[in-house]
Amino acid sequence: MCRHLGWLGRPRSLASLVLEPPSSLLVQSWAPRRQRYGTVNADGWGVGFFTPGRPGPARWRSARPLWAEPSFASVAPVLASGCVVAAVRSATVGMPLEESAAAPFTDGRWLLSHNGRVERGALPPVRDAESTVDSALLAALVFDRGLDALGATVREVAAADPAARLNLLAADGTRLLATTWGDTLSALVTAEGTALASEPWDDDPAWADLPDRSLVEVTPDGLTVTALTS
């Protein structure tokens, strides 16, 4: 269910992150290599990024498949950022197909993507969700609780829905936060910055798979991984 990526480091074009790698999100929209649930990610996409002088993130989202967006492909090479969250969507059965259901979601400061699924009835009431889909409701809950409580929120939701898959990826322009809970996440640490992704976008041996049930933080000082105990 979905594929996502985050980047923190020197500014890179959106094309170099989302479109150009040999197993980019564009390719993963029709041929993911490690996806355990679902086969394609054709139910929408989104990219959020931070730029100097702008207090919050900019977003571009669509309910169409990423491969059907020539306008994004035409401008992505000239849009650059040092902090990016992007995703392609495979909708949970019964969930609506609409732009507002595509990650990343935002509270005006943070971007957040959810790779997984959760029973909506297992979530407490939330305010200001961008859509009625499970991922949007979960994002609103995380925003309400605060990103510093991300690990505790994931554990609480997992206790309410033991079958939930709760891989979350968030950014505020200065750091990335992520959880692994039921699906894959890999990290690539380079001299230019750090990438987190549901699956590697190429075959660079420097990619490292992160353990399940972990809280991951990326700052300009590096990457830390902390176990999430249930």
Name the residues annotated as catalytic.
2
- Cα–Cα distance between 139 and 137 in angstroms, integer? 5
- Cα–Cα distance between 39 and 19 in angstroms, integer? 19
Whether omega for the bond prior to residue 104 falls within 30 degrees of 0, making it cis, is yes
Measuring CA to CA, how many Å separate 2 from each of 184, 200, 219? 11, 14, 25
- Cα–Cα distance between 127 and 206 in angstroms, integer? 41
Residue burial 73-87, b: 16+ Cβ < 10 Å; e: rest = beebeebbbbbbbbb
Measuring CA to CA, how many Å separate 166 from each of 113, 134, 194, 200, 226? 10, 11, 21, 19, 16
Rounded to the nearest angstrom, the gap between the alpha carbon of residue 25 and the centroid of all alpha carbons in its chain is 11
Closest CA to 210 of 191, 192, 230, 226: 226
Which residues have CB under 8 Å from 76's CB, separation 6+? Answer: 13, 14, 15, 18, 19
Tokens, residue 215:
């809280």
